[in-house]
Amino acid sequence: MKKTLGEFKRTVHTGMEIEYVRCENRAYDSKEETYTGEFFATEIPEAKRDTRYVSYVDTTGFYLKRPDDKGLRGSFCEWPKAADLEFNGDTFVIIDRSLGNVEFQKRHYKITIK
């Protein structure tokens, strides 16, 4: 069952582990200057494959950090708009849109420890 953005915000908390499991992209048509076609899976870069934990949560988003990361908070992830989130409790997808409001990327995550 799809859950709301509010439920997602209440679920994400410090110490939670999140794994980046899949990335889907659309091809960019430089002639038409838009993203077209079906989504296709792309390889996740090695630097982003591991499980990270939520190091900090605030009103604008949350921070993801590796255990060996020496930085203060880690990488920032802004709260998505409600229309750009698919949340089912243990998994979530954040949709990125172009300036023309066209979906061009879907990032799939799995919550590994609540």
Flag whether pLDDT at 113 surpasses 90. Answer: no
Domain that holds residue 15: 5-113
Flag whether pLDDT at 1 surpasses 80. Answer: no
The whole-number pLDDT of residue 81 equals: 96
Number of domains forming the structure of the chain: 1
**Mean pLDDT over residues 57-61, rounded?**
96
Regarding predicted confidence, which is higher, 21 or 67? 21
Predicted TM-score (pTM) of this structure = 0.89
**Mean pLDDT over residues 13-26, rounded?**
95
What does the block give as tokens for 31?
């002639």
**Digit-coded pLDDT (tens) for 20-40:** 999 999 999 889 888 988 999
Flag whether pLDDT at 47 surpasses 90. Answer: no
